[in-house]
Amino acid sequence: MPTCPATRFLAALDADWAALIAAVGPCLHQPRPEREPYQALVRAVAYQQLHARAGDAILGRLRALFPGQDFPTPGQLAAASLESLRGCGFSARKVATLQGIAQATLDGRVPDAASARGLDDEQLIERLIQLPGIGRWTVEMLLIYSLEREDILPVDDFGVREGYRRLKDLEKQPSPRQLRQIGQAWSPWRTTAAWYLWRVPTA
């Protein structure tokens, strides 16, 4: 029987969830609370619509532009040339989004970690989706991986919807709206539910 409260809760939902958790094992979700929202947003944009390995490579090239430090500052990113950022593998649209994040951080529109922790999920989502190129999914990655929120279900994520389709052996994925409704039963542990749905084995 799972010992983590979240996995116990999910395993008790039905036989499909119990079998998934038994197959995957303990939840090994590893948030990075030391990352400021600025860095978390930049990272999320890098991974938008890409496999993890491709996102890793692009981020590695971005960091290599600024030797001697772990990550570019907002000022450095805002001042970087289009050519240098395109050379990392970012599209022109993503470059505009990244530099918009950097400028919004300098302007105070992207809050620091302490301020972000004082906002609830929807407050932070509504604040940050005002930035060009930033959608709900991007902010949800910030909530999951940096702010350690436990009840986030990124229903726009293809992998989450595909995981649920495989879990329930459905012919097609649920729509984001359908999954949002289905996922209400997984609260208050929807972040852990998403972690497992990303890992549903293929047949």
Catalytic option among 16, 121, 157, 169: 157
Known catalytic membership, residue 121: no
The Cα 146–Cα 164 span in angstroms is 24
One-letter identity of residue 49: Q
Cβ-count burial 145-170 (b if 16+ within 10 Å, e if not): bbbebbbbbbbebeebbbbbbbbeee
CA-CA distance, 135 to 15, in Å (whole number)?
34
So which residues are the catalytic ones?
157
